[in-house]
Amino acid sequence: MTTIVMTGGSAGFGAIAARRLAADARVLIGARAAPGFPLDLARLDSVRDFAEKVRAQTGDQGIDALVLNAGVIRPDADGRTVDGFETTFAVDHLAHYLLLRLLLPALADGARIVLTTSGTYDPATGAGLATPRHADAQLLAHPDRDPGRDAVAKRAGQHAYTAAKLCTVLTALSLAADPGLRARRITTIAYDPGQVFGTGLARDLAAPLRLAWSALGTPLGAPLRWFRPEMNTRDAAGNALGDLASGAAGPPAGRVLVALRRGRLTAPELSDTARRDGLGSRLWDDSARLVGVAPAVTR
Ligand SMILES: NC(=O)c1ccc[n+]([C@@H]2O[C@H](COP(=O)([O-])OP(=O)(O)OC[C@H]3O[C@@H](n4cnc5c(N)ncnc54)[C@H](OP(=O)(O)O)[C@@H]3O)[C@@H](O)[C@H]2O)c1
């Protein structure tokens, strides 16, 4: 039976994807409240425990799809994890990077890796959030050392999110370019679900934003979708994620990033920053140092 390992499968549109996938596959979901596979991405020791449990469970059979969908956005960049890293960057990028590194050797040949990013990673989408200024893992992990840090807390929080999502795209590009993974026919996809109201993503934001986020997730938000191609329903975003994980959908040959627009998967150009030479490999090595693994990719 196909085995899929997933983060962010307990809530939001990820839960819709997980339900869809569970019809034909064994889906191991890591989440804070999951009894079998507890996972708190804000703790690197929890990531290591989770990876060990998954490897014990999957044994020699291998993992057919690894779906890294969990994410948070916070009202500021002041939170720190137990490991001392800024919370949004730690949960959205660093913990997933470590999980990837621990599980890459356990992937079956021909497996798929799907990482959920956000269109807000690209300034050209004009999403209105503070855009990424860099993908320097050291500064993102320790924003108080960043000389360009936003003075306004809300903007600093947005920057932590959009920069972490840039790191997600860069990580996907590094994986897709790795000769060892290519030899194992492993496909990597960065998935931008568009704007999906009514999920739990706004839970830590200010009350007016939280309320608007919930309201727009009801039929009240439907008329907006006529004018805003990037707005998608939870079902559309979850079903597309499920299709990407199962192999029912994917990017065109040679592309890594897909974006859901008007409920359909498209393959947008990468942002100027994501195309910059050397950025991804620097991020890879710095992330490895921060989580305490060797920079080399696979086994
Ligand atoms: N909604 C949008 O408009 C939108 C747009 C672009 C990108 N995205 C991305 O899509 C993904 C899913 O978002 P969503 O809107 O569905 O949000 P959501 O409803 O808040 O779901 C977030 C998921 O992440 C998990 N998670 C959060 N913190 C965690 C932690 N410390 N440890 C383990 N799991 C944790 C949650 O699990 P628990 O059950 O443990 O809380 C939940 O399953 C995120 O990566 C988000 O950045 C969303």
SS3 149: coil
Burial group, residue 35, by CB count within 10 angstroms (0-12, 13-18, 19+): exposed
Nearest alpha carbon to residue 168 among 105, 94, 231, 104:
94
Convert the pLDDT of each residue in 183-236 to its tens digit: 999 999 999 999 999 999 999 999 999 999 999 999 998 998 888 999 999 999
> pLDDT confidence of 296, banded at 50, 70, 90?
confident
DSSP state of 221: G
Structure confidence at residue 149 (pLDDT): 93
Q: How far is CA 32 from CA 8, 10, 21, 160, in A?
A: 10, 9, 20, 22
**Which of 19, 171, 196 to mutate to test ligand 1, by most ligand atoms within 8 A of the CB atom?**
196
Q: Is the pLDDT of residue 165 over 50?
A: yes
What is the pLDDT of the chain when averaged over all its residues? 95
Per-residue pLDDT of 10-69, as tens digits, reads 999 999 999 999 999 999 999 998 777 999 999 999 999 999 999 999 988 999 999 999
Q: Which domains does the chain have, with CATH numbers?
A: 2-291 (3.40.50.720)
Specify the ligand 1 atom closest to the Cα of 14: 16
Cα of 106 from ligand 1 centre, angstroms: 24
For ligand 1, say whether the CB of 40 is within 6 Å of any of its atoms.
yes
H/E run at residue 170: helix 153-177
Tokens linked to 147: 């000389």
pLDDT at 298: 52
What distance in angstroms lies between residue 179's CA and the mean position of ligand 1's atoms?
31
Report the chain's C-alpha Rg in angstroms. Answer: 18
Angle at 68 between CA 65 and CA 73, to 5 degrees: 165
pLDDT value for 60: 85
Alpha-carbon distance 192 to 94, whole Å?
19
Phi, psi of 30 (to 5 degrees): -95, 125
Q: How far apart are CA 190 and CA 216, in angstroms?
A: 25
pLDDT at position 233: 97
Pocket of ligand 1 contains residue 168 by CB under 6 Å: no
| Bridging pattern class, strands 257-261 and 187-192 | parallel
Measure the CA–CA gap between 142 and 123, rounded to whole angstroms: 23
How does DSSP classify residue 279?
Answer: H
Q: What is the 3-class SS of 58-121, one letter each residue?
A: HHHHCEEEEEECCCCCCCCCCCECCCCCEHHHHHHHHHHHHHHHHHHHHEEEEEEEEEECCHHH
- Whole-model pTM: value is 0.97
Give the distance (Å) from ligand 1 centre to CA of residue 183: 32
Indicate if ligand 1 lies below 6 Å from the C-beta of 193: yes
What pLDDT shows up at residue 120?
Answer: 97
- Give residue-wise pLDDT tens across range 70-99: 999 999 999 999 999 999 999 999 999 999
DSSP 266: E
CA angle 141, 142, 147 (to 5 degrees): 125
> What is the reported pLDDT for 299?
39
Phi-psi region for residue 272, left (φ > 0), alpha (ψ -120 to 50) or beta?
alpha
Residues in the chain: 299
